[in-house]
Chain A
Amino acid sequence: MAEAETDARRLATEARDRVRFEEEVLGLADQVYRVARRLVPSREEAEDLVQETYARAFRSWRSYTPGTNLRAWLMRILTNLNIDRGRREQRSPVMQPMEEGDYFLYNRLEESSGPDDEERIVERLSQDSIVDALSNVPHDFRDVIVLVDIGDFSYQEAAQILDVPIGTVMSRLHRGRRILKGQLAEAAVGEES
């Protein structure tokens, strides 16, 4: 009798924890989608990826340790699924004039417009050209940019999610942002002509 009661209590606690977990996970859906949408090329693929991520998260909820970073836990499922399915498109590495590096975009924009208010210069770029430029960054670099700049993850969290050392996150971020700026500079020139 006492045993049956203990069992019932245990089940009730588990059901309550599970409901709470599922609600928290669903509450993060918008953020998860925003990251997914920039990791894959189309809306449909992003939707599939998010749906698979949620199906797996709900199935394996016991492997989540309460009190740890749920957002990072979810994102790790998502990035692993994305890699496993080989769904990410491989693009040829983008060659950029690296020696001009980080100064390239600013100078290019400033050159075409003359000295301007820094806040206004970027508005010369269309939103579509920014989305295209990001999608042209090779995926290893793009993953890190998306996690840090769009997902608001720290370097450490991004390292855990992608299962790489933090130094790799930093170097990919550095290189990736350069490539992105190179792409944006090309787009800026294209939009002028």
Chain B
Amino acid sequence: MTQFDPICEKCEELIQPYLDRELSETERVEAEGHLAGCGYCNTRYRFEVSLRRYVRQACCSEEMSPELKARLASLRTPLA
């Protein structure tokens, strides 16, 4: 179970805000430089990208019903 130890300490603190596009320009360049050179972080990064995409896909699969859409439109102020 030693694989649970973070192999790279920088990994999480970089990857999450990087994926959220919340790093400053300097931090972003630093993160990209690190990702390019660290195999571990790179693997984890690709995993995170696909996980987020997958979660999003699963959680957004249910569309709003046309009935609700019509009800919302009916709440509009009637034109005088």
Q: Shortest CB–CB separation between residue B44 and chain A, in angstroms?
A: 7
Which chain A positions have C-beta within 8 A of B17?
170
Interface size on B, residues (CB 8 A): 40
Which chain B positions have C-beta within 8 A of A173?
16, 20
Which chain A positions have C-beta within 8 A of B76?
22, 26, 58
B63 interface residue (CB < 8 Å to A):
yes
Q: Is the CB of B58 within 8 A of A130?
A: yes
Q: Is the CB of B55 within 8 A of A130?
A: yes
Interface of B is mostly: helix
Residues of A that sit less than 8 Å from B by CB: 15, 18-19, 22, 26, 29-30, 33-34, 37-38, 43, 47, 50-51, 54-55, 58, 99-107, 111, 118-119, 121-123, 125, 127-128, 130-131, 134, 146, 148-150, 154-155, 170, 173-174, 177, 180-181
> Can you pick out 23 interface pairs between chain A and chain B where the beta carbons lie within 8 Å of each other?
A18-B77, A22-B77, A26-B73, A30-B63, A30-B64, A33-B63, A33-B68, A34-B64, A37-B59, A37-B62, A51-B72, A54-B72, A58-B75, A99-B4, A106-B44, A107-B3, A111-B3, A118-B46, A119-B46, A122-B50, A122-B54, A150-B56, A174-B16
